[in-house]
Amino acid sequence: MTSPDRRLAVRALRTVKTVNGVPLPLRGDVLDQILPHRGSFALLDRVDDVEPGKWAKGRRLIARTDPVLADHFPGRPIIPGVLLIETLGQLSGIVLWSSPPAEGKEPISAASFGVLAGIKRFRFHRLVVPGDVVELHTACTARVGTISEFDVTAHVDRELAASGSLQIGFRASK
């Protein structure tokens, strides 16, 4: 109840940020429409924010039931570093997908794809284990022809888990 001397505060409606017409955050089915990865290789769980063509932030939840954990390592499960790299590569693919088309070019279609072309100066700073939520960040630092370079980081509980640079070769479908 309100008293006559107390006014009701009305909040403005929050605007939803969109990327290529798709509202953020990007999850499950939407990521399946953008990225070609399926099944156990659909590693990216959520994209929280994107600056088209520049950077993206996302997350991966490390589930206890992830099949890779049964064998890596029994009794002491940890996520293999190569899967962290792949997850960061998938997030970098979202940055490429979100890029505005170059002048005179068609927008990137969902049928286009990127491939991991290189890994530089990659370091693992802590183990990633079941129950962790990995906060991911990627920023495009250079583009030369069809190759884009990204500085990437992964954090768990605000602690740096991995960092490095990835090169993604991107090819538009014909």
Other C-beta atoms lying within 10 Å of the C-beta of residue 14 = 6
Radius of gyration over every alpha carbon of the chain, rounded to an integer in angstroms: 19
Burial of 33-64, coded b for 16+ CB within 10 Å and e otherwise, reads ebbebeeeeebbbbbeebeebebbbbbbebee
Structure token digits, residue 146: 């069809």
Q: Which residues lie below 8 Å from residue 89, measured CB to CB, with a gap of 6+?
A: 114, 116, 166, 168
Would you name the residues annotated as active-site residues? 72
| SS3 state at 90 | helix
| SS3 state at 115 | strand
